[in-house]
Amino acid sequence: MNWLSKKEIWERNVIVVWFGVFMTGIGLSEIIPFLSLYVDTLGNFSKNELTLYSGMAFAVTFLVTAIVSPLWGKLADQKGRKLMMLRAAAGMGLIFFLMGFTTNVWQLIILRAIQGALGGFVSNANALIATQTPKSQVGRSLGIVVTGFTAGTLLGPIVGGALASAFSYQLTFHITGFIMFLVFFLILFLVQENQRPTQVDQQKPLEKITWGTLPHKHLLISLFITTMLVQAVNMSINPIVSLFVRELVHNSHNVTFLAGVVAAAPGLATIIAAPSFGRLGDRIGTRFLIQIGFVIAVLAFIPTAFVTSVTILIVLRFIVGISDATLLPAIQTLLSKNSPQNMISRIFSYNQSFQAIGSVAGPMLGAVIANLYDYRAIFLVSAGIMIINALLFSWNTRRQTAK
């Protein structure tokens, strides 16, 4: 750890926080390959019951997160973002341990709900980096943190599937809990948070700024909606990705592998491109970068609806990841620039709530569209959503001047 101690404080914060959000991403997504199988071990269920309980166990975490996250954000603004990250890491560690001891499905669903209630690690991680990093490095640093969560979410199913195959479902939860406790101690000893003094040119005292008197309110709401719609679009393909790949390769024996590559392509692109786009946003402006991201997304989604080759599908999904790399760090940066110091964690938490709503709505939207029309219609609808998203964002940013 000597090399880490020699880093500047803000650089050390970025490195440790990156690992923390990386492990959080793994923890949230590692259950995907085996959640329904684990539920099946907790009782004798019919096919419909198994589907219902698996869906409940998956969705309840995001639903509770959407409700509770702003409350933790408000507390973080009062008590500090590091403290909230410690609370979330310890809470997730404990909950993962307990999940390995469940004996019926309702215990699992309740623990998944508590996991959502004790969340807030990622939103407070973003808020801490935004407030503790030099302004010239904020875009790049948030871009790095975004890659951590994206990488964890991408690798989570692989890690979870490997651990569950090598050991057991129960031990997989215990190992993840141990790693979250490790994150707790890394944050405790290596992350430093300094409260910035109040800016003298601010007309209103920070403690008197409320949502009702918040400047740039329309812009912030626009960013929340942008986050929700981007997440919904990203998640909409999840229910049908394997089926769509199977259709393209005509029931080839390697459907599972190819579907995994298709699913991983956007995340891989985001990991590669996000830090560079974060630096670019610091130079050319974050609003302009977000608009570029909308254009890239639309140009990727429309031709995806007409692909006949899985190779082209992978390329286009990779381009979608590049769009995410422009949008996600830029949204975080613009949120930090237009949030008062005493509300920044609350703002990031609201954003996480909207992201959680998108995580639930996206797969539901994809399944409904696939049932009403076909798989390809999902991509045309996604392009339409991104066009509407771009128009709403442009309209709101014209109403207020953002930095």
Kindly report which listed range (1-10, 124-133, 364-373) carries the lowest average pLDDT score.
Answer: 1-10
- Can you give the pTM of this predicted structure? 0.76
Q: Is-contact 119 92, C-beta < 8 A?
A: yes
CA distances (Å), origin 336, targets 135, 156, 343, 398: 10, 28, 10, 19
Q: Report pLDDT digits (tens) over 160-183.
A: 878 888 888 899 899 989 989 999
Q: Is-contact 25 153, C-beta < 8 A?
A: yes
All domains in the chain, ordered by first residue: 1-192 (1.20.1250.20), 212-403 (1.20.1250.20)
Q: Name the amino acid, one letter, at 86.
A: L
Query: What pLDDT score was predicted for residue 349?
Result: 85
Please list, residue by residue across 17-35, b when 16 or more beta carbons sit within 10 angstroms of its beta carbon and e when fewer do: bbbbbbbbbbbbbbbbbbb
Alpha-carbon dihedral sign for residues 214, 216, 218, 220? negative
Question: Whole-angstrom Cα distance, residue 289 to residue 223?
Answer: 13
Kindly report which listed range (20-24, 115-119, 145-149, 179-183) carries the lowest average pLDDT score.
Answer: 145-149
**Whether the predicted pLDDT of 210 surpasses 70:** no
Question: Whole-angstrom Cα distance, residue 329 to residue 336?
Answer: 11
CA 37 to chain centre: 25
Identity of the highest mean pLDDT range in 168-172, 296-300, 388-392: 296-300
Q: Report pLDDT digits (tens) over 267-290.
A: 888 888 877 777 777 777 778 888
Average pLDDT over residues 331-360: 84
SS3 30: coil
Q: Name the amino acid, one letter, at 395.
A: W
Q: Which positions ≥6 away from 336 have C-beta within 8 Å?
A: 126, 127, 130, 131, 138, 142, 344, 348
Chain mean pLDDT for the chain: 83
Query: What pLDDT score was predicted for residue 212?
Result: 63
Question: Whole-angstrom Cα distance, residue 18 to residue 147?
Answer: 8
More confident residue, 223 or 253: 223
Q: How many other C-beta atoms are found inside a 10 Å radius of the C-beta of residue 290?
A: 26
Query: What pLDDT score was predicted for residue 294?
Result: 95
Q: Report pLDDT digits (tens) over 61-112.
A: 888 988 888 888 888 888 888 999 999 999 999 999 999 999 999 999 999 9
Q: Is-contact 182 318, C-beta < 8 A?
A: no
Phi, psi (5° rounding) for residue 14? Answer: -60, -45
- Burial category of 63 from C-beta neighbours within 10 Å (exposed 0-12, middle 13-18, buried 19 and up): middle
Question: Whole-angstrom Cα distance, residue 400 to residue 258?
Answer: 45
The pLDDT-based confidence of 201 (bands split at 50, 70, 90) is: very low
Average pLDDT over residues 230-244: 81
Query: What pLDDT score was predicted for residue 188?
Result: 92
Give the chain's largest Cα–Cα span: 66
Query: What pLDDT score was predicted for residue 386?
Result: 95
**Whether the predicted pLDDT of 314 surpasses 70:** yes
Identity of the highest mean pLDDT range in 154-163, 376-385, 386-395: 376-385
**Whether the predicted pLDDT of 397 surpasses 70:** yes
Phi, psi (5° rounding) for residue 370? Answer: -60, -35
Average pLDDT over residues 44-52: 82
Question: Whole-angstrom Cα distance, residue 144 to residue 28?
Answer: 19
